Amino acid sequence: MVQRQICVIGAIGSQRAGEAFSSDYDLPNDTAYVESCASVGLMMFARRMLEMELDGRYGDLMERALYNTVLGSIAFDGRHYFYVNPLEVHPKTLRYNGIYNHVSPVRRRWFGCACCPPNIARLCTSIGHYIYTASTDALYVNLYGGNRVAISVDGHALRLLS
Ligand SMILES: [Zn+2]
């Protein structure tokens, strides 16, 4: 998936039909489905993988998905969302070409199938579980952002403020 099915912004799901992957490297800038929920799910998957195998690639994947797609899919007011996140949108063309029926040029307040807004909110409110990964003798920083943490690593109490 990471080698052949992911956009540079950490978004996955290249086609609307089945909200699915297609062939390798098929990542159309303007018609890709790249749903917000897919990037939330990608972060959940990468975190689980990171818990099983301390490999920085999983942290990098979470970083790509969070800072580009997940946070980009919600407006600063926290009330408007992108359901899909194609890299390229031509607003004047959308209504004249059915291949863009799933694309919106602006974030919307709600959707008929409203999976993305609560998934984004759930991820944002649980972001503390993604920032660090602790092992028995080390603390790994996966994401950057202002936070505080108090944690015990190898019997030593750590308090971090960033
Ligand atoms: Zn969704």
For residue 135, the CA-to-ligand 1 centroid distance in Å is 32
Strand partners, 20: 15
In a 10 Å sphere around its CB, with 0-12 CB exposed, 13-18 middle and 19+ buried, how is residue 67 labelled?
A: middle
> How distant, in Å, are the alpha carbons of 97, 100, 138 from that of 7?
23, 18, 32
The per-residue pLDDT of the chain, averaged, comes to 94
Whether pLDDT at 69 is above 90: yes
**Which residues, chain by chain, have CB under 5 Å from ion ligand 1?**
35, 37, 115-116
The pLDDT of 28-57, averaged and rounded, is: 96
Q: Which residue has the tokens 């890709």?
A: 32
pLDDT in tens, 119-144: 999 999 999 999 999 888 888 999 99
Whether pLDDT at 158 is above 90: no
Is 113 known to be catalytic? no
For residue 133, the CA-to-ligand 1 centroid distance in Å is 26
Given this model, what pLDDT does residue 161 score? 85
Strand partners, 74: 81
pLDDT in tens, 91-123: 999 999 999 999 999 999 998 899 999 999 999
Q: Which of 19, 51, 113, 116 is catalytic?
A: 19
Given this model, what pLDDT does residue 4 score? 97
Token pair recorded at residue 158: 């750590």
Q: CB–CB of 107/82 below 8 Å? A: yes
**Domain spans in the chain, listed from the N-terminal domain onward:** 17-129
Given this model, what pLDDT does residue 152 score? 87
Is 19 known to be catalytic? yes
Given this model, what pLDDT does residue 154 score? 85
HSE (CB half, 13 Å, CA atoms) of 103? Answer: 26
Given this model, what pLDDT does residue 135 score? 87
Helical axes 116-125 vs 36-52, angle rounded to 10°: 40
